[in-house]
Amino acid sequence: MIEFRSVRKTYPDGTNAVDDFSLVIPSRTTTVFVGSSGCGKTTLLRMINRMVDPSSGTVEIDGEDVAGVDPVQLRRRIGYVMQNAGLLPHRKVADNIATVPLLTGVSKGEARARALELMDTVGLDRAFAERYPSQLSGGQQQRVGVARGLAVDPNILLMDEPFGAVDPLVRNDLQDELIRLQRELGKTVVFVTHDIDEAFKLGDQVVILKKGGEIAQLGTPAEILSEPADDFVANFIGAGRGRRALRVEQTPTGPVVVDGDGRAAGVLTGPVQVVDAAAAVPQAAEAGARDTAPGAPAQGGGPR
Ligand SMILES: Nc1ncnc2c1ncn2[C@@H]1O[C@H](COP(=O)(O)OP(=O)(O)OP(=O)(O)O)[C@@H](O)[C@H]1O
Ligand SMILES: [Mg+2]
């Protein structure tokens, strides 16, 4: 479990990036921070692995204040995937993946073997091991970035807009892969994005942020979709497509919540006869927003 307790961050130039932020992130789940540019997402993420230290307040991992942990030790337990993969251009793919294990004293042979295994894990052909990042597609580079984040077998994986730079189809594949990996590996994933659809697809818990890291709403995708806390959230989740009109569609296997575009937004876990979103709120509370497509089997969004 990761816990932020009344965390503030004022940068040396006086910018108040985060103002009194508190949050509990349960283990082995995916929590997504979503919000507009400059609202403090990266600052919050980096406070977990001490790339940024809070001005006041604490960040605890399993009850231990990270301020008392050596940053190098800390980063062995925490994988970090940067925006645009953040690969070293002059190093081959396998060496990029093995960067952190090599820094922590693992032998070259072991590090390489681990890199090749991780290429399998993230769905990259081992033949790419000898290529340089510029010889890969954008999506392949992002997979290398994820493999590198996993290289120290961390319990916690921090991902800062990791799929921002690829086209929507590749992005969709990468998101599906992350959901699969999360199921298989059971990491605690903290994921940053400014894309609300990505947040709803990946998050067990979604944190919608306003400027200064103020939490506009915290909840499961279904909770937020069915009951936006205020106009800010309603506008944010409707951005770019008009306000989402939720409705419930009956499928052969159960009711599925779909938005105005017919995209699955969640499933209902309780018995239900309703057809409008307002009435669906209580049942939607336990629902997750993944793995459902209109007509597909409805599944609960329980722990994985
Ligand atoms: N090193 C720094 N020095 C001064 N101000 C900073 C520094 N890093 C970030 N900031 C400021 O703190 C605020 C939050 O920045 P942060 O990078 O956390 O935002 P973000 O939500 O990740 O934005 P984006 O979506 O654009 O990546 C912004 O106003 C930013 O300009
Ligand atoms: Mg950022």
What are the residue ranges spanned by the domains of the chain?
2-219, 221-284
User: Is the CB of 38 inside a 6 Å radius of any atom of ligand 1?
Assistant: yes
- Residue 164's pLDDT is what? 79
Which of 4, 8, 39, 207, when mutated, tests ligand 1's pocket best, judged by the most ligand atoms within 8 Å of its CB? 39
- Residue 169's pLDDT is what? 83
Query: By the 8 A CB rule, do 224 and 50 touch?
Result: no
Closest-CA residue, ligand 1 atom 7, reads 11
Collapsing DSSP states into helix, strand and coil, what is residue 11?
coil
Residues with Cβ within 8 Å of 128's Cβ and at least 6 positions away in sequence, in order, are 93, 119, 136, 140, 144
Which of 7, 11, 196, 209, when mutated, tests ligand 1's pocket best, judged by the most ligand atoms within 8 Å of its CB? 11
Which is the closest atom of ligand 1 to the Cα of 9? 12
- Residue 89's pLDDT is what? 94
Closest-CA residue, ligand 1 atom 3, reads 11
The number of helices, as runs of H, and strands, as runs of E, in the chain is 11, 13
Reading the block at residue 214, the tokens are: 């103020």
User: Is the CB of 112 inside a 6 Å radius of any atom of ligand 1?
Assistant: no
With tokens 């597609």, the residue in question is 137
Which is the closest atom of ligand 1 to the Cα of 83? 27
Ligand 1 centroid to residue 42 C-alpha, Å? 7
Residues with Cβ within 8 Å of 15's Cβ and at least 6 positions away in sequence, in order, are none
Closest-CA residue, ligand 1 atom 24, reads 37
Nearest-CA neighbor of 207 among 108, 199, 279?
A: 199
- Superfamily of domain covering 2-219: P-loop containing nucleotide triphosphate hydrolases (3.40.50.300)
User: Is the CB of 11 inside a 6 Å radius of any atom of ligand 1?
Assistant: yes
Which ligand number lies closest to the CA of residue 194? 1
User: Is the CB of 17 inside a 6 Å radius of any atom of ligand 1?
Assistant: yes
Closest-CA residue, ligand 1 atom 12, reads 17
User: Is the CB of 301 inside a 6 Å radius of any atom of ligand 1?
Assistant: no
In the structure, ligand 2 is a single-atom ion and the residues with CB under 5 Å from it are: 42
- Residue 280's pLDDT is what? 43
Which residues of the chain are modeled with pLDDT < 70? 239-246, 251-255, 259-263, 265-304
Which ligand number lies closest to the CA of residue 8? 1
* C-alpha dist (Å) from residue 97 to 39, 81, 86, 117: 30, 11, 11, 10
CA distance 120 to 35: 33
- Residue 173's pLDDT is what? 86
Ligand 1 centroid to residue 197 C-alpha, Å? 22
CA distance 122 to 124: 6
